[in-house]
């Protein structure tokens, strides 16, 4: 990639996310990324005004892919709220894609411990995800107060999976998510036939 027209804004963001995951936010530097991408710094400035704008791009890309796209995909599947909950619980068992998503999530959460902008993005995403899960539970017939607590448990379970290293096979992870659905989703909610 020797021309700035060949390298997209998304290429820079993806490369920055990889550095974030492996080395932390302090290592996300224009020079480092340019060297990694084998291109001049000029390409960076064609797409971004500053490193800060790149960092905003990382957060925006993560928010879109890890939250908005997931919710949109689940909603567009034309499935019941309960089926959406089950599919949501199965997401962490989706192999390398799930591992990559969890790595980015952990990198951003680590960054958010000391950066106000990243903390705000995490807070917004957490709130949006919790509201979505709570809404699905309410639609499935769970009383509002109980739905809020169960949404928190479901979300906490999913976040915890990104912290745990497991040698389980994809099938074992899927079976665990199905067992957890039995624990986290009340029996009064049933899947439609």
The answer to whether 61 and 10 have CB atoms below 8 angstroms apart is yes
pLDDT in tens, 29-71: 999 999 989 988 888 999 999 999 999 999 999 999 999 999 9
Q: Domains (ranges, CATH) in the chain? A: 1-48 (1.10.10), 58-184 (1.10.357.10)
In whole angstroms, what is the distance from residue 96 CA to residue 100 CA?
6
Nearest to 62 by CA among 111, 9, 121, 3: 121
The pTM (predicted TM-score) of the whole model is 0.88
The answer to whether 85 and 181 have CB atoms below 8 angstroms apart is yes
Q: Identify the burial level of 123 via C-beta atoms within 10 angstroms of its C-beta, where 0-12 means exposed, 13-18 middle and 19 or more buried.
A: exposed
């Amino acid at each position: 990639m020797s021309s700035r027209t060949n390298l997209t804004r998304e290429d820079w963001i993806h490369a920055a996310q990889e550095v974030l995951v492996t080395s932390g936010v302090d290592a996300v530097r224009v020079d480092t990324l340019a060297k990694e991408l084998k291109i001049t710094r000029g390409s960076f400035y064609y797409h971004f005004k500053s490193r800060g704008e790149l960092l905003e791009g990382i957060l925006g890309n993560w928010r879109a892919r890890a939250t908005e796209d997931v919710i949109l995909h689940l909603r567009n599947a034309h499935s019941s709220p309960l089926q959406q909950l089950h599919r949501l619980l199965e997401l962490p068992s989706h192999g390398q894609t799930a591992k990559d998503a969890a790595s980015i999530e952990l990198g951003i959460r680590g960054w958010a411990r000391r950066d106000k902008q990243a903390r705000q993005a995490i807070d917004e995403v957490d709130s949006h995800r919790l509201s979505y899960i709570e809404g699905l539970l309410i639609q499935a017939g769970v009383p509002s107060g109980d739905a809020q607590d169960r949404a928190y448990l479901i979300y906490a379970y999913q976040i915890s999976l990104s912290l745990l290293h497991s040698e389980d096979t994809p099938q074992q992870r899927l079976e665990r998510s199905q067992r957890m659905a039995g624990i986290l989703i009340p029996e009064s909610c049933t899947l439609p036939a």
